[in-house]
């Protein structure tokens, strides 16, 4: 299928930047699941990319920076999945998380990427989009620093 690439299970953790993808101007779908990619992921400008999956990577704390980067380099993005990352609070993965944590996460992501139609395999609802417009900016999860 033209415009589709799966780079899953390649342990791309040593590749902070995926600038090599810059020559794929027509890329529409990119699957980067299970690659140990982190918060500092750098993608080139991919103007036609509408589907991006980053499931089961190492996206842990700097979700806002990643979302800002995606907003800049993937303007056509409509489907994003971050399942299996610490930054995506999911009660099935972490007993410390609950449904409210996940709702806040969704509102924050939709605030940052308002053109998304699907997030983590779930269709974005009208109610979620409205909530993201009103309160999404305040839904950023801030973790207190432990230790001293």
| Full DSSP string of 22-52 | GG-TT--EEE--SS--BTT-B----TT--EE
Per-residue pLDDT of 5-57, as tens digits, reads: 555 445 444 455 688 888 888 899 999 999 889 888 899 999 999 999 999 99
In this structure, is residue 32 part of a structural domain?
A: yes
Its pTM stands at 0.82
Structural domain span for residue 101: 4-138
Whether residue 148 lies inside any domain: the answer is: no
Which region holds residue 99: left if phi is over 0, alpha if psi is between -120 and 50, else beta? Answer: alpha
Domain annotation covers residue 117: yes
Specify the CATH number for the domain of residue 14. 3.80.10
Predicted confidence band at 62 (pLDDT cuts at 50, 70, 90)? confident
CA torsion, ordered 139, 123, 130, 70, to nearest 10 deg:
50
| Within a domain: 81 | yes
Could you tell me if residue 145 is inside a domain? no
**CA–CA distances in Å: residue 118 to residues 13, 14, 112:** 26, 29, 14
Whose tokens are 């806002």? That residue is 64
Whether 132 has a pLDDT exceeding 70, the answer reads yes
* In a domain? residue 130: yes
* 143 part of a folded domain: no
Q: Count how many domains the chain has.
A: 1
Among all chains, which residue has been given the structure tokens 């001293």? 148
Is 134 within a domain?
A: yes
CB 19 within 8 A of CB 41: no
Q: Could you tell me the pLDDT band of residue 95, with boundaries at 50, 70 and 90?
A: low
């Amino acid at each position: 299928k033209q415009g589709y690439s799966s780079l899953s299970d390649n342990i791309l953790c040593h590749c902070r930047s995926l600038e090599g993808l810059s020559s794929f101007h027509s890329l529409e779908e990119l699957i980067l699941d299970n690659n140990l990619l982190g918060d500092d992921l750098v993608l080139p400008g991919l103007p036609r990319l509408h589907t991006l999956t980053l499931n089961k990577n190492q996206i842990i704390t700097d979700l806002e920076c990643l979302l800002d980067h995606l907003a800049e380099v993937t303007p056509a993005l409509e489907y994003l999945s971050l399942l299996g990352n610490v930054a995506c609070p999911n009660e099935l993965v972490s007993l410390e998380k609950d449904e409210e944590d996940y709702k806040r996460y969704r509102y924050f992501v939709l605030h940052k990427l308002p053109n998304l139609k699907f997030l983590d395999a779930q269709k974005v609802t009208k109610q979620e989009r409205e909530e993201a417009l009103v309160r999404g900016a305040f839904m950023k999860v801030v973790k207190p620093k432990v230790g001293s």
